[in-house]
Structures are given as structure tokens and as C-alpha cells.
Structure 1
């Protein structure tokens, strides 16, 4: 059995867990402070929260153990219960390995319990003391991006044990229409995702995630007003949309999305033209992703929400770059590659 810890912030960690579990030939046990995913049939441990205590029960003193860790508040009941749950689970269930997506503290607890760890590496600059500790002690690093995207500043010891599998999307393996890798043309997706449009109109699918955003509704209205001839359809928590995101992705002339790993992987799976706009995140992770996508001319990448007057040109640039460049980001086999690596690690002790 393989354990998989999924951080509760946003939905991306849980989504990636499900994609990998679906292709593994052995059971996966989920551990998270987030909700059990609908339809999950494997084992599951609801971990105590260490960031949402009753008022007055959390010490604000030394949250990082003098800068060595990321989050270990003193005298925190939830943190203590969480640590006990993890180590008891490791002793009782004897997993062959644990994938940690993501937490320095969980990675260390699993390794201290004698369990091999695969730490999901994150974009951005991750050379702080806590990240170095987690990455150094890991048996392998799972990098859900192509080699060269975020590892140029890595030491050789990390590169040597990394699994560069490309983006991992729940839509990997879906059949693509013949036009998906070609530049969009006016009217090629005129109706848009559930929105009737006049002939010649093109559709922007604005895609947000559950991790929060700094872009405001006013920013979106201004971009929409500046782009006559484009129909903007928004898909995000709190906004109505169709029930079939894959269909929406395929019908969009341009996808506009944040630079989170799962959103980028889904644009890659759909092979559609895109504008990828970074949202503020720790370690500048989305900025790094947006820059790399733009540098490689896979799509249009920007580190902040563009001014309204810039949007007409950006959408046309995305159309001209097309969707074929996404093949460099993901070949659609990321989850299967992880499964193959895990099998080798747990049966033969081979990490890279």
C-alpha cells in the first residue's frame, strides 16, 4: 500500500492524488485535513487541523522552530494529534512509501517512522532551510513539470533523484479533436461553453481554482469590456458554469487561467491556446511558471493581471502561438510515469 498526503489548501493536491491513484496497481491510502474526495474507495485518515484552533489555543510564538521548519506552533493540540495520527498510521498500516504533497513536517514524520518518502517538488525558489531539509531527506522528488522548468537552480543531488514527469491532469488520455493543437481561428468555437454567440465571436474560458486569487471581478469586467468580439465565460468556485469542464476547455478559443500546477496541466491536456497569469503565492511559484511558459512560447505568460488595453493583443498572441506547444509541458502520461517510478522504488529500491 502507498500512502499519499494531500495538503488541504486548494483542490490541486487532492486532484493530483486521485489521478495517480487511478493508475497505480496497488491501493493508495489518503491522508489529509481536507475532505475525502467523492468516490474515493481507498483507505482514508482525516488528519487534525493545525491551523484552525479555537480562539486562544494557538501560540504565535516560534511558529517555525527557529526557522528550521515551516509550521509547528507551540502548545497546539491539533498539531500534536496530527503527529500522533501520522506516526500511529505508519506503525499500524506499514505503507511501502508515502507521497507527500506537500508538507515539510509530514515528510519528516514519515521518514522518522522509517517510511520511504517521495516529496512533491513545487515551483519557485525552494532553497530555504525547511525545503532543503525535506528535499534532502526524500528518497525521490516528484516534479510535475518538464525538466528545465523549475530545477535550473537545484543542486545535483536533487536533480539526480527527481522524477520529471510533466504536468499531471485528470484529463490526461482524453481524445483530442483534430483542431486542438492548431491555432484557433475566428468563429472556430463561436458558441463558447454554453453561451450563444454571434458569427465571428470567439470565446475566452476564464479558469480559476479554489486556492484564492488577487484578480478582482472589476479587473475581469475591464478586460471583457476591452475585448469586443470575445465572449468571456468564467469557471471558478462561486460562479455558475457547465458541468463538463473538459468540453468547456475544448470549445474555448483561448483559455485564460492562473498559473497553478493543475490549471496549467489541464490547459496542457486540452492543447488549447492560453494566457497564463500568475497569482501571488509563496516562493513566487506561479510567477516562475508563467515566466517559463512564456519563455518557451508554449502559451502567453504574465506575472500579473494585464491592463485592460493589453488584452486584445494578448488574446491574439495566444491564438497565434496555438496549442501545440503544450506537448513540451506534458505528454499526457505524467500519472502513469509516477506509478511506474513508485513501483520501481518500492520493489527494487530504485529512486530515479
Structure 2
């Protein structure tokens, strides 16, 4: 059995867990402070929260253990219960390995319990003492991006044990219509992929995607972008906005997708091969900024580290449409979850000692 810890912040960690579990040939046991997702068929441990309630007497005293860890608040009962649950699970279930997505403290607890750890690596700069400890002690690093995207500053010891599998999406393996790999203006010839084009035809569609991890872009920012692009119809989808039941269909019908730079959202856009403007939202360690920069540098799509000024949106949307969606094949070939399964099978080939 393989364990999989999924952080409760946002929805991407749980979604990635489900994508990987669906292609593994052995059971997966989920661990998270989030509720068990609907339809989950494996074992499940709902972990105590270590961030609420917040007793007044705890305050902000040394939650990082003098900078060595990320989150270990003193005298927090939830943290103690959580640690006890994790170590008891390791002793009782004897997992062959655990994928940690993501928590330095969970990775260390599992490894201290003798469980091989696969730590999901994250974009951005991860050279602080806590990340170094988790990455150094991991048996493998799962990098859900192509090699060269976020690992250029990594030490060799991390690169050598990394699994660069590309983006992992719940939509991997679906057939992409031929039209999805070209931009809305690609039928006009000739087209310079770096020259914005505005055809003046019927309004085109922008699909605006937000995740569950929070954002600083305001409704006023979005309205200003809409007002500045009268040739485009904007459709907004987020956990707080009612949408259709079929995101895949909406992705395919959009002429351009505008999205935050979370790993899960980027992977889904990549799977759909859609033209896109990827706009980073603030996250620790410049996670989303790093993704947006790399996507723009590689000309896969248009990437920006901040929400653009309203008057720049007509040019940005035309540029995204001109770049098209074919470049996403560099980010993901649709086999990321299957590659993880193959790697895990090799990692756990050695029998567990009694």
C-alpha cells in the first residue's frame, strides 16, 4: 500500500492525489486535514488540524522551531494529535512508501517512522532550511513539471533523485480536438506568433479561472479588464462562482483561458492545449511567479507576475491567441500520473522488513 498526504490548502493537492491513485496498481491510503473526497475508494485518515483553533496562550511563539521547520506551534493540541495519528498509521499500516504533497513536517515524521518518502517538489525558491531538510531526506522528489522549469538552481543531489514527469491533470488522456491546438486566429495566414492580431470579428471568449487557494486580484480589476476588451466575452469560474459541470468542455470552447498560476490549473490548461494568459497570485517562495515566468519565457503561453493594467489586456489576449496552445506539449505529454506510478513501483520493489 502507498500512502499519500495531501495538504488541505486549496484543491490542487487532493486532485493530484486522485489522478495518481487512479493509475496505481496497488491501494492508496489518503491522509489529510481535508475531508475524504467523494468517490475515494482507498483508506483514509482525517488528520487533526494544526492551525485551528488557535489558543490565545500560544501566540506566535517559535512556530518554526528557530527557523528549522515551517509550522510547529508550541503547546498546540491539534499538532500533537496529528503527529500521533501519522506515526500510529505508519506503525499499523506499514506502507511501502508515502507521497507527501506537501509538508516538511509530515515528510520528516514519516521518514522518522521508517517510511520511504517521495516529496512533491514545488516551484519557486526552496532553499530555506526546512525545504532543504525535507528534500535532502526524501528518497525521491516528484517534480510535476518538465525538467528545466523550476530546478535550474537545485543542487545536483536533488536533480539526481527527481522525477520530472510534467504536469499532472485529471484530464490527461482525453482526446483534444484538432482545433484546440491552434489559436482562434491561426486560420488567417500569414500570422506572426509574436504579433498581436485583432480581427474585429464576432466576440471571442475568455474563460477566467480561479482556484481555492485565495487571490489578491479584485472584482474591480476583472471588470476593468472586461471593459477594456469589448471584442471578448468573459466567463468567470471559481469555487465561489457557479459554473458548468464540465470544465473540460468550457476549456475547449474558450478562445483564451486566463488563469492563476497554480500547478493544478496550469496542468489542466496544458492537458486541454488552450491558448492562455497565466497570471501569478502571491504565494510563499514566489511559487506562482516562477511558473508564470517560465511559461512566458518558453512562449508556451503568456505569463505575467502581476495582474496587468486594464489597457494592456487587448494586446495580451491577442498575443495569447496567436501563440496558440500547441506549446503546452512541452509542459505535459499527458502521462505524468503513469510516470509516477512507474517510479513508485521501482522505488518500492524492495520488500518491507517485518
TM-score, normalised via structure 1 length? 0.95
Q: Deviations over 1:128-175 (max 9, x none)?
A: 000000000000000000000000000000000000000000000011
- Cα separation, 2, equivalents of 1:57 and 1:268: 47
**Corresponding position of 1:73:** 73
- Cα separation, 2, equivalents of 1:126 and 1:225: 39
**Corresponding position of 2:19:** 19
1:294/1:9 CA distance change after superposition, 3 Å? same
- Cα separation, 2, equivalents of 1:240 and 1:130: 39
Q: RMSD over aligned Cα, in angstroms?
A: 1.5
**Secondary structure of the structure 1 residue equivalent to 2:4:** strand
**Secondary structure of the structure 2 residue equivalent to 1:283:** helix
Q: Deviations over 1:307-344 (max 9, x none)?
A: 00000000000011000000000000000000010001
**How many residues of Structure 1 are paired with residues of Structure 2 in the alignment?**
340
**Corresponding position of 2:246:** 244
- Cα separation, 2, equivalents of 1:59 and 1:214: 26
Give the CA deviation at 1:186. 9.1
Give the CA deviation at 1:35. 1.2
**Secondary structure of the structure 1 residue equivalent to 2:328:** helix
Q: Deviations over 1:262-311 (max 9, x none)?
A: 00001100001000000000000000000000000000000000000000
1:199/1:310 CA distance change after superposition, 3 Å? closer
Match of 1:292 among 291, 294, 307: 294
Q: Is the 8 A contact 1:187 1:199 kept in 2?
A: no
Q: Is the 8 A contact 2:98 2:110 kept in 1?
A: yes
TM-score, normalised via structure 2 length? 0.94
Give the CA deviation at 1:69. 0.3
**Corresponding position of 1:30:** 30
Q: Is the 8 A contact 1:208 1:258 kept in 2?
A: yes
**Secondary structure of the structure 2 residue equivalent to 1:285:** helix
- Cα separation, 2, equivalents of 1:312 and 1:5: 42
- Cα separation, 2, equivalents of 1:187 and 1:312: 19
**Corresponding position of 1:192:** none
**Corresponding position of 1:169:** 169
**Corresponding position of 2:236:** 234
**Corresponding position of 2:197:** none
Give the CA deviation at 1:242. 0.9
1:123-142 matched pairs, under 5 angstroms? 123-142=123-142
**Corresponding position of 2:156:** 156
**Secondary structure of the structure 2 residue equivalent to 1:5:** strand
Q: Deviations over 1:163-221 (max 9, x none)?
A: 00000000000111111111223999xxxxxxxxx971100000000000000000000
**Corresponding position of 1:332:** 334
**Secondary structure of the structure 2 residue equivalent to 1:61:** coil
Q: Is the 8 A contact 1:202 1:231 kept in 2?
A: yes
- Cα separation, 1, equivalents of 2:186 and 2:146: 32
**Corresponding position of 2:347:** 345
- Cα separation, 1, equivalents of 2:56 and 2:267: 41
Please list every run of 5 or more consecutive structure 2 residues that lacks an aligned counterpart in the other structure. Answer: 189-199
- Cα separation, 2, equivalents of 1:323 and 1:70: 37
**Secondary structure of the structure 2 residue equivalent to 1:42:** coil
Give the CA deviation at 1:7. 0.3
- Cα separation, 2, equivalents of 1:187 and 1:221: 30
**Corresponding position of 2:223:** 221
Give the CA deviation at 1:229. 1.1
Give the CA deviation at 1:240. 1.7
**Secondary structure of the structure 2 residue equivalent to 1:179:** helix
**Corresponding position of 1:315:** 317
- Cα separation, 2, equivalents of 1:55 and 1:125: 32
Give the CA deviation at 1:58. 3.3
